[in-house]
Each structure stands twice: as structure tokens, then as C-alpha cells.
Amino acid sequence: MKIDEIQPQLLNEFKMVLAHHHLSHAYLFSGGFGSYEMALWLSQAIFCEQPMDALPCGHCRTCRLIEQEEFADLHLVEPDGQMIKTGQVRALSEVFSESGFEGKSKVIIIREADKMHQNAANALLKSIEEPENDTYIFLISQNENLVLPTILSRTQVIKFPKNIEYFRNTLEKNGILRTQAELLAQVTDSIEAALKIGQSSWFNEGYNKCLQEIKLLKSSPADAFLYLSALTDTFDDKERQKILFDLLIHLFYQEKWIDKIQKTFKAVKMWQANVRLESCLNYIVMESE
């Protein structure tokens, strides 16, 4: 995805930030639509050998290496399995304490930051609170509501709204029906993932089951508990289960069901901590006291 096509407004805002040399040392990019691409573009701006008005040229050796995720002073952290573990974050201590290999600056990008174990998040706090002058941290999360408040309070949060029209049009150009493209644009953050899901038979079946679950929650909560097995039958692996939670959040938003939205966010954290899907869904369905 080209960042100038999917997030043109944010790109212009960051161009102004760079022009005035006001780039902060710790950001949390909330929303997956172009946030990682923006972090890479800003990394190019920091390291570029031939910047033009503080903007990256995109062609020098450094810019090319960053685009390929192979630059020595760019450090990427991703979940190991379902979690970013404490050891992964503690391993960054050398990065924070030492100079860069090719210059003074260092950039750390932590993808899916909401999957940090609490101990890992705590290990990162000191580095965020007292950053080295030439260290930049970009935390990326699909939803800031899933990130620990202690992390949120120490970073500058930038929201990356979906460019729904761009998303939907791209899916339609690739053969996805308009109604399905509209839904996929709402519940996924990656065009590649949306295309893969849109070409599968289980998605429509799963969506219809989610609609039935919402209907039962409103009319017969006891039956809603029993119907959960229908959801677990269809959403039977981790990839599908993530889509399940996204569908439920989307439908609860449509219903303006705030309690269930909050419970679903909590259930996602439980699920990421390896609580069984059935238990997470039971928590969502359970009536508030």
C-alpha cells in the first residue's frame, strides 16, 4: 500500500512535523490501515542519506534497506506466537543504551503492541519515559483500547482511520461483491487478508451466525449461551477467531451496545492470554450484574 494514497492527510501532517523538526520520540499508532507503512516512511526520514526538505528520498541505500526491513539501526519487534514476551523487550535494553551502528539514531517499531505481556510493557516503560535523544519508538496496535493505560499515557497517540472507500474499491476491483467488500472493509485492516477471507466459504456462514447470536442476545440470553457452540464450530482457528471478535465488535457498535463492546475488548485480552475461546465468549454473553 502506498501511504500517500491510503493516509494522505496524516502524511501531510507528518511532513509538517518533520519540516519543523518536531518529531516525538514515542508514538502509538492506533489502527492498522497504513500505520506500519507510516512508521517505515518516518524511519526513512530519520535515516535518509539525501533528504529533501526533511523528507526521505526513497532511493538511497538506507531508504531501500528500510523498505526491505534490513537496516541495522531499525529494530522490529513482533509477537512470538500470541504474545510479545518480556524477554523480547528486555533484549532491547542494549539498543537503548548503545549508539547506532551507522549513526547516532535508532528506531524501534513494535508491531501488535497490544499483545505485549504486562511485564513486557512494564519493562518498556522506563525507556519510553526517559528516551535517549536519538531513539525513536513506534508502537503499532489495531486498537488503543487494548493497550495498557501506562503505555498510552507515555506516548503520543495517532489514530489511523480506515480509508473505507479506498479499501472497498480495491476489494471490488479484485472481484469481491460490493456488500461483502463493505463488511470486510469494516472488520479487517489488511487488504491482503480481506481478499483471502473474501474468497473463502466460511466467512459468510460465520457472519450469519454472528447475526443470529446478536438476535438471541436481545431476545433470549439463555439460548444465546447454547448457540455459542455454533460460533466455535465455524471460527475454529486463531485467524478466524480474530475475525470473530472483530465481527462482534462491529455488530455491537451497530447496536450501540456499549456494555458488550467493552466486554468484547476484555474478552480479546483474555483470548490473547490463551484463555479458551468458549470462556471468552461466555464472558461476553454473560449479563452484567
- Predicted TM-score of the model (pTM): 0.72
**Residue 80 sits in the same domain as residue 133:** yes
Q: Where are the alpha helices (DSSP H) in 153-201?
A: 164-173, 178-187, 191-198
65 closest CA partner among 39, 47, 83, 52: 47
**Residue 155 sits in the same domain as residue 216:** no
Query: Would you state the pLDDT for residue 206?
Result: 93
Query: Would you state the pLDDT for residue 214?
Result: 96
Domain's final residue, options 159, 190, 223: 159
**Residue 134 sits in the same domain as residue 209:** no
Query: Model confidence over 178-233: pLDDT tens digits?
Result: 888 989 988 887 788 889 898 888 998 999 999 999 999 999 999 999 999 999 99
What CATH number is attached to the domain comprising 153?
3.40.50.300
E strands present in the chain: 26-30, 74-77, 106-110, 135-141, 156-159
Query: Would you state the pLDDT for residue 288?
Result: 56
**Residue 51 sits in the same domain as residue 134:** yes
**Residue 46 sits in the same domain as residue 153:** yes
- Mark the ranges of the chain whose per-residue pLDDT is less than 50: 289
Domain's final residue, options 127, 159, 191: 159
**Residue 140 sits in the same domain as residue 235:** no
In a domain, residue 152? The reply is yes
In a domain, residue 226? The reply is yes
Burial (Cβ within 10 Å: 0-12, 13-18, ≥19) of residue 199: exposed
Query: Would you state the pLDDT for residue 1?
Result: 62
Range of the domain at 120: 3-159
In a domain, residue 155? The reply is yes
In a domain, residue 112? The reply is yes
Q: How many structural domains does the chain have?
A: 2
